[in-house]
Structure 1
Amino acid sequence: MKQQLIIIFLLLICCCLESIVVCSDSGKEELKADGSVLELDDSNFETAISTFDYIFVDFYAPWCGHCQRLSPELDLAAPVLANLEKPIVIAKVNADKFRRLATKYDLDGFPTLKIFTHGHPVDYYGPRKADLLVRFLKKFVAPDVSLLESDGAITNFVEMAGTYFPIYIGFGLNESMILEYAIKYKKKAWFSVAKDFSEEAMLAYDVYKAPALVAFHPTYNERNVFYGPFEDNFVEDYIKQNLLPLALPINYDTLKLLNDDEREVVLTVMEDESDEKSLALIKLLRAAASANRDLVFGYLGVKQWGEFSETFDVNKNTKLPKMVVWNKNEEYLTVIGSENLEDEDQGSQITQFIDGYRSGRTEKKRISGPSFMGFINSLIGVRTVYIIVFLVAVFMLIRSITNSEEYDVPQRKQRLSNDEASDTIPVNVDGHSYRPEDKED
């Protein structure tokens, strides 16, 4: 009888194992890179991240408003990313329901986004609109340096790269000369080396001899060519200086590009950056930027972003265009006698402004205006602001409780001495608990 029970027990174990294998195999069959957003859970998550080389995972909660807004963007991006040469699969996990996964990957808010490369997670803090998400992730799976073997390969590479990031093309350049910097700045630019090319291809990028490194900004139709020396820090300096266009329009998106740039910003505030006079002024700013590579030249239209212009004391009575030098913190400089530009000979006035700045003929001023908090949000991220506010609130709460306890101690002692026999009942204060939905990433 005992032997029969053991046999039955072993048969049950075999059946269970077979069932698990079948379920696992069926789960694998369902996981296909068909352009749809995969819904993952505890049973198929590990299979998914091991099946696909690149998988972008949205850890969400159904009640989270930010998650709800992100969902349709992922639906739009998924088929585009699935058709890449190296496909990227988009998936999502209800981390509010599957808490084990939330704990394993240290989620601290919703949505939390991660890119799994061959099973290894990397936090994603990039854009969330479908088109920008695609642009960013395309770069993530691209080679550090693309090798281009023909004129057609150069054309295809530029078309594939798109217009959002700057493009670097080395003509007749050894890959090893830029590989280190291509890895370092991969999130900010495309890098390639043309091995075989015609003279026509060189002329198309304003190159008249090789070796040369071209920096190309498709959005702004700007090209700059570097002929060396290809040693020491010269190459990196050139790459860093050309990550931004010669004249950068300042807005919510481009402001963040200044975070890692150590140069000060020569900022020109104009009425409307799209009108004819402003377009002519922008051309002059590009020429000045080309001659002053140690500075970033930016421009800001009051019509495009009036609130931010108020940060530099611009109001309806201010004569425009106005030029300042901004350190990207809480101070900026005006050049005495050269703050405002007249309509005539603006090129000479810009030169005088730069000369006045370099000679120290300046006046220091503090940032002002109601847009300052908005600027801080854009610069350091909403998450950081919420953390700061939360810590301040906690500090104030602790201080308030401490003061309250100090005040109540004598009364508590008196009350207990008068009625020592009675039990003390703790008071439960009902407050609003912090929910992940209250935290914007």
Structure 2
Amino acid sequence: MSEPLKIAIAGLGTVGTGTVKLIQDNLNVLAQRTGREISIVAVSARSRKNRDFDMSSMTYYDDAVDMAENCDADVVMELIGGSEGIAKEVVEVSIAKGRHVITANKALLAHHGTELAKLAEEAGVALAYEAAVAGGIPVIKGLREGLAANSFDLVYGILNGTCNFILTNMRETGRDFDEVLTEAQELGYAEADPSFDVDGVDAAHKLSLLSSVSFGTEVDFDAVYIEGIRNISALDIVNAEELGYRIKLLGIARKTEHGIDQRVHPCMVAKDQPIASVEGVLNAVVCNGNHVGTTMFEGAGAGGGPTASAVVADLVDIARGTILPTFGVPANALAKPIAQPVEKREGSYYLRLQVEDRPGVIADISNILKDEDISVKSLIQHESNPGKSVPLVITTQATVETAMNRSLEKISQLDCVLEKPNMIRIVSL
């Protein structure tokens, strides 16, 4: 058996603790699969409080950067989180010291992935991050290894379990967003400040990494269009069901003639699409390879156990001596992506309007759409309340988003429209 692989872990929160327990529980299995012993030699955390595992054989460091600099480890696991500060410094120092790095930190890689990949490859060490995207689902390995024979033109998915839980619960219970968000927080699915999740930022971090691996481009988080789920109402959920759709927060990255289209936003997806049936806190990623066709990965996108499973999957690769380019091709060969603005998006749209119920309203709205060469596909107005406020739902045929935006601006200025219109993109994937 080869020399033991010595590791240090920075961060003993849910993922860090789960990783230690997994390694300790599966020491024999890991040794059999890698041909060497795995040994945790050092840990660092914000406090020395007692943990639910044996730390007697580990050196404790108050300072994670000090640990990265001075510990006797071959691999450093950065499980702290955050795009800047100590997490970034731990990774940079570890690479400079010739240590392999495993991280679950999607924010760090979304903002600094290209430069860190270059540093790692120049140092001859791994920068591994399976746990940063879709939790326990082996999607990075799937794209970078299992499907490496293919080129891709599309990758998309449900990348945030909190949002998927909220949208699923809204549909199943008929409750509105705020009430379901409170329940998600009580259950531990949402943070006290849920902004990163419900505003789409977390999913955008992950999408930027999937896009880089899929298309061989530098990570370009700033080019991702981001829109969250705060404006989705219980009425939108009901209307979607009536129209044959489910509402999902999707991250979509696509190669187009105009460049790389990267966006995160609520989508209406036909109910017969497999991704429409991914419910609760689960994640799913779908990719389209030019020879394999469509492949879908589904599973647990978060949690201590699933995320630790992904962390240790990277550790197994390193123990076996498998070190791959971070984003599938050498970092210096990553292309600079040309971003396609969301305004160039072509597709159908759902509009929910709150209007005054009086003659001529539908004609006024239809004329605005007609002026922008937008055809109406369907119209729903179940309620009748003359002189009062009623909801009006319109779906359109395919059009360009710039035309849709111009129409919405004009429609919102009509005196019969009483609230800001809500638009959801209908996607065909």
TM bin (shorter chain):
under 0.3
Larger Rg: 1
TM-score by length of 2: 0.24
Higher relative contact order (CA 8 A, sep 6+): 2
